[in-house]
Amino acid sequence: MKKIILLTIPILLFSEDISIFDKYHIVVSKWIMDKSDALDRFLAGTQDSKSLSNTKVTLSYELGANNLGKFSNDFDFSLSLNLPRFQDKAKITLEKVLNNKSLVGNNRESQLSKSDENSDNKYNLALSLSQWRGKKASIYLTGGLRLGKNIIDPYIGIVSGYNIISNSKKEFNIKNRIRYYFAGEIKDNLSTQYLYNYSDHILLGWLGNLDYSNREKEQILTSEFIWHRSINKYKFYRVGFIANAKLKHFKHLRKNDFEVYVKYHNKFRDKDWAFYEITPFVDKRKEDNWHTTYGVKLKVGATFGGIKDFIHKNPIFRK
């Protein structure tokens, strides 16, 4: 039933009579922001009735297929809680846990696998406490829960970052995330990115990612090069090359897979809250004996919340 509902979303979004869907979207968004405001007032210990929250919830569903007859499907949920009264003290997020992700391009965890069965999706509910922020560096203490099927795993951690270069043309930074899970796992993620604004509409970049876990014998190293072309606020093209490798005890580099992709992102008609992505790709993977494969992915999604200015301009949706 869930798959049938998700597959009908594009049909509904492309329909001519869109007013009922826009109204539904605004009502749901207003409910999300009202609840976020109530939580913000409770945590901040104030009775201020002014609406300040701009919380967003994003839902998306992705289907993929390749020339080997393999299929993938992936449902994603992310929550960006905006608590302006409480924000100076802490930041709360809920995001999907990705085992080996491309930082800007395709989601490697949902890459086409040998079966169409979904893995056990896990999410991090994180509370980030801002401790120190300098001109170029920052350090945060974090705590939260890793949530999954029959899993509630508390953790504490430290996030540190340093901006090596930051100006209107270039950005180069490094970030390290360490998490200590109460169940005994230690995870460390070291990421770096270099972005160059070639023009007002073209962005070039390199992104690197190293993942470590004390429960895994190998570490995963990801490198990605991107060319990004913005058409307008909602539409862009992106070309990327991804290389994944594995290390054992931080040495003995072993190639794992390569991928080239082209991503097209746009909104549905005049709905700036709903989007779709089409991503053809070509890759060579060790698990496929280095045979060249090609395929395409289709992703649809919608964002609720984050539209308080629009709601205030429509009296019908006010309290």
Between 90 and 5, where is the model more confident?
90
Is the confidence at residue 103, as pLDDT, over 70? no
Cβ atoms of 193 and 103 within 8 Å: the answer is yes
Look at residue 214 in the predicted model and tell me its pLDDT: 93
Mean pLDDT value across residues 76-84: 80
What mean pLDDT comes out for the span 61-71? 89
Confidence of residue 98 (pLDDT cuts 50, 70, 90): low
- Whether residue 41 is predicted with pLDDT greater than 90 in this model: the reply is no
Does the pLDDT of residue 23 top 90, yes or no?
Answer: no
Residue 193's pLDDT is 95
**The pLDDT value given to residue 315:** 46
**Alpha-carbon distances, residue 218 vs 161, 201, 229, 242 (angstroms):** 25, 39, 35, 19
Q: Which residues contact 129 (CB under 8 A, 6 or more apart)?
A: 89, 90, 140, 141, 142, 143
Please check whether residue 247 is in contact with residue 254, taking contact to mean a CB–CB distance below 8 angstroms.
Answer: yes
- Distance CA(258)–CA(99), nearest Å, equals 17
In the chain, what is the straight-line distance between the N-terminal and C-terminal CA atoms, in Å? 34
pLDDT at 89: 62
**pLDDT higher than 60, residue 108:** no
Q: pLDDT value at position 286?
A: 81
Tell me the average pLDDT across 109-137.
Answer: 60
Give residue-wise pLDDT tens across range 229-276. 999 888 999 999 999 998 887 777 888 889 999 999 998 877 788 899
The residues, any chain, with a CB within 8 Å of residue 272's CB and separated by 6 or more, are 233, 234
CA 213 centroid distance within chain: 21
**Phi then psi for 125, rounded to 5 degrees?**
-100, 105
Q: Between residues 67 and 122, which one has the greater pLDDT?
A: 67
61 three-state secondary structure: strand
What pTM did the predictor assign? 0.76
Higher pLDDT, 3 or 210: 210
Type of residue found at 85: R
Q: What is the CA radius of gyration of the chain?
A: 21
User: Across residues 74-89, what is the average pLDDT?
Assistant: 77
Q: Is the dihedral of CA 299, 6, 120, 273 positive or negative?
A: positive
Mean pLDDT of the chain: 79
Token output for 264 = 């097209």
Question: Does 282 or 317 have the greater pLDDT score?
Answer: 282
Residue 296 pLDDT > 60, yes or no? Answer: yes
Domains of the chain with CATH codes: 2-317 (2.40.160)
Whether the CB-CB separation of 275 and 265 falls below 8 Å is answered with yes
User: pLDDT at residue 121 above 70?
Assistant: no
pLDDT at 100: 41
Q: In angstroms, how far is CA 5 from the centroid of its own chain?
A: 23
What is the percentage of the chain residues whose pLDDT exceeds 70? 76
Are 304 and 72 spatial neighbours (Cβ–Cβ below 8 Å)?
no
Which of 186, 187, 183, 184 is closest to 151 using CA atoms? 183
d(CA 290, CA 308): 50
Question: What pLDDT score does 130 carry?
Answer: 62
Q: Which residue has the higher pLDDT, 3 or 280?
A: 280
| 52 pLDDT more than 70 | no
